[in-house]
Amino acid sequence: MSRLTPLALLTGFMMSGNVAGENIGSQTGANITLNDGDILTGDATYSGGLYGVVNPYNQTGIVNLGRRAFINVTDADNYARGVVIWGNESQLSAEGLTLNISGNSALGINITGQDITADLGTGTTVNVTGTATASGILIRGASSLKAEALTVNLTGDSGFGLSVSNAGTRVDLGSGSTLSTQGRGSHAIRVHALNGRESSRRTSLTANQLTLNTTGDSAYGLNLQADSLANLGSGSTITTTGANAFGIWNFGELAADNLTINTTGSGSVGLEVRQNGVADIGPGSHV
């Protein structure tokens, strides 16, 4: 079990709004519960890299990460992972969670089983840095995720702040979420319906007052693929900095009011709609 200094524990106590927890190591199992304010430091390996929390394949369970817990995983030479949910129909919950994940490859939250229900509550923050590749949150398999005022900070090439994959997968980011990437070819958000089982539900992203920021050449604020839906509500802002970047690359169905898209860099495009894509951009929008 990893140990933190008294100063680190005091810092965790102060940052977590006077929620005092314990210093613990990696957790694995069908059912996992963290106490409010726990500080988890990844000290065990799974499939060749350090991890924080793993709900294993074929183990349906409930993973409750409590309120204002911290998950810290650093594995400079391997694949660092914060939270992995593999068990089909499992449930994940958290409130004000902070993840700090760093590695050669790094991933904050991976919801990879079928029909998983995830609720990250209000104010969860996901910080991910990868030398090779990195992603903040990956969700697939007709699973669902909801969060309010979510923050994702991603550093690494060819990664995703949030990737929503497979038919029927749904994400609701509530109001006031911010996803930022730094790296060539990275996406703040990608939504696509490819692969996976057939579903009567659309692959979808819903948000209001969403902020997407990308820094790096050939990056994407929102990459919306065919047979997928994105409703950005009102007051969303997308900003790209870098050459040949796209604010929105749309093959699907897009809706937004009072949308602002800012692009800086040669060859960059604010909004491009391709093939059968549809974009309903309402009053007060600026591209």
* Per-residue pLDDT band at 198 (split at 50, 70, 90): low
Segment 2-16 mean pLDDT: 46
> DSSP string spanning 22-87?
-EE--EESSSEEPPTT-EEE--EEETTEEEEEEE-TT---EEEEEES-EEEEEEEEEEEEEEEE-S
* Per-residue pLDDT band at 10 (split at 50, 70, 90): very low
Burial class (CB in 10 A: 0-12, 13-18, 19+), 183: buried
Cα distances from 59 to residues 142, 252, 269, in angstroms, run 17, 34, 44
Listed residue (247, 251, 282, 244) closest to 261, CA to CA: 247
Q: Are 123 and 148 in contact (CB under 8 A)?
A: yes
pLDDT score, position 204:
97
What is the DSSP pairing of strand 91-95 with strand 44-46? unpaired
What CA–CA distance (Å, rounded) separates 49 from 146? 28
pLDDT score, position 48:
87
- The answer to whether residue 4 scores a pLDDT higher than 60 is no
Instruction: Specify the pTM.
Output: 0.91
Q: What does the mean pLDDT of the chain come to? A: 93
pLDDT single digits (tens) 163-172: 999 999 999 9
Segment 30-40 mean pLDDT: 99
3-state secondary structure of 178: strand
pLDDT single digits (tens) 103-120: 999 999 999 999 999 999
What is the Cα gyration radius of the chain? 18
- Report percent pLDDT > 70 for the chain: 91
* Per-residue pLDDT band at 12 (split at 50, 70, 90): very low
Cα distances from 260 to residues 118, 182, 206, 240, 272, in angstroms, run 29, 20, 17, 11, 14
Contacts of residue 22, Cβ cutoff 8 Å, sequence gap at least 6: 35, 38, 39
3-state secondary structure of 13: helix
Number of C-beta neighbours around residue 154 at 10 A: 29
Least confident segment among 163-172, 191-200, 248-257 = 191-200
